[in-house]
Copies of this chain bind each other. A is one copy, B any other.
Amino acid sequence: MDKWLIGIDLGGTTTKLAFLTEEGFILRKWEIPTDITNNGERIVPNITYSLQEKLAEMNQTKKNVLGIGIGAPGAIDHENGIVFEAVNLGWKEGYALKENLAKAVGLPVILDNDANCAALGEMWTGAGKGAKDLICVTLGTGVGGGIITNGQVVHGIKGAGGEIGHMTIDPFEGYQCNCGKRGCLETVASATGIVRIAKDQLSSFNKASVLKTIMINEREISAKDVFDAMRAGDELAREIVNRFAFYLGLAIANLGNVLNPEAIIIGGGVSKAGDTLLNPVKKYFSAFTFSTVRESSHVSIASLGNDAGVVGAAWLVQHSSW
């Protein structure tokens, strides 16, 4: 019988866990809350307990498991299995996640950045299935990314590879980013970025608009409100989405121009807008790529949803030299 793989997607509020086959099929998936109290000291014990419990429930032992792949947010030293900046997880700088989890569970562990895991997941069984060159952009509260070339994750010299959210996309009048510089893609193409554009466009928009009425009279809006309004024909929403699509389209076009990947995949919560988001982004992608790339690099929406992280983490188990 084939051995199982364990994939874990460690987030600031929830930890997703899954057992998978060696072909990437999810046998069982579940979530536990991430307890970040006391400098995150419960994170590894909680994962360990949950894994043992689920294995017992399924009448399995860890002897039948090949290993654990885990994705964590922020800066990672994937070779040594260290999580550097983990403000969201409570850990002090330089937490030895790989070593601690391996010791606790008694299985080999491989660690990578969560956005890289999502890209690997989409490459293995998702929208980029079979591609060896692939870019995955994750549009959530921020903008994350994973870049795969020649079948391998691009980590770069200090683990910053794939930080698509910090491409400087507006070098002139860009918004201030948390990273310290201005004009980052994340300031305009994330869920918060879209709302920021909306507030900006509002003042110069003089026509009637359902979205405008909501923004003025009722409450804070969300990125979803903008895409819903666009789908309903709202002109202000169209202008907002158009500006968002210009920035995102320009960014992925330039990634396409230099990397010519088979697949450029847009994932994360914002990507649930589907074609309402994809079509305008594709328009700008076409405008800003040269012919070979325009014709051979395909832009699409991610297909694994929230499972991408655990699938990609599990992929690492079979592709690592521990």
Task: List the B side residues contacting A150 at CB < 8 Å.
Answer: 149-150, 152, 154
Apart from the given pairs A156-B297, A160-B293, 19 other A-B contacts in the complex at a CB distance below 8 Å: A131-B157, A133-B161, A145-B258, A149-B161, A156-B259, A156-B296, A157-B261, A159-B292, A160-B292, A161-B259, A162-B258, A163-B258, A163-B292, A164-B257, A166-B257, A166-B290, A167-B254, A179-B291, A181-B287
Contact across chains for B293 and A168 when beta carbons are under 8 A apart:
no
Of A150, A156, A159, A162, the most chain B CB neighbours within 10 A belong to A156
Q: A154-B149, A180-B290 are in contact. Are A260 and B133 (CB under 8 A)?
A: no
Contact across chains for B257 and A167 when beta carbons are under 8 A apart:
yes
Task: List the B side residues contacting A184 at CB < 8 Å.
Answer: 290
Task: List the B side residues contacting A43 at CB < 8 Å.
Answer: none
Q: A156-B297, A168-B254 are in contact. Are A161 and B260 (CB under 8 A)?
A: yes
Contact across chains for A292 and B260 when beta carbons are under 8 A apart:
no
Minimum distance in angstroms from A76 CB to a CB of chain B: 12
Interface, chain A (partner B; CB < 8 A): 75, 131, 133, 145, 147, 149-150, 152, 154-164, 166-168, 171, 177, 179-181, 183-184, 246, 250, 253-255, 257-262, 287-293, 295-297
Task: List the B side residues contacting A164 at CB < 8 Å.
Answer: 257-258
Contact across chains for B168 and A250 when beta carbons are under 8 A apart:
yes
Q: A288-B181, A290-B179 are in contact. Are A260 and B157 (CB under 8 A)?
A: yes
Task: List the B side residues contacting A166 at CB < 8 Å.
Answer: 257, 290, 293
Minimum distance in angstroms from A197 CB to a CB of chain B: 17
Q: A149-B152, A287-B181, A290-B166 are in contact. Are A296 and B158 (CB under 8 A)?
A: yes
Task: List the B side residues contacting A295 at CB < 8 Å.
Answer: 158
Contact across chains for B75 and A163 when beta carbons are under 8 A apart:
no
Contact among B157, B171, B259, B262 for A133, CB-based, below 8 A = B157
Task: List the B side residues contacting A261 at CB < 8 Å.
Answer: 156-157
Cα A53 to Cα B204 with chains together (Å): 74
Contact among B163, B250, B255 for A260, CB-based, below 8 A = B163
Contact across chains for B292 and A167 when beta carbons are under 8 A apart:
no
Task: List the B side residues contacting A250 at CB < 8 Å.
Answer: 168, 171
Cα A296 to Cα B166 with chains together (Å): 15
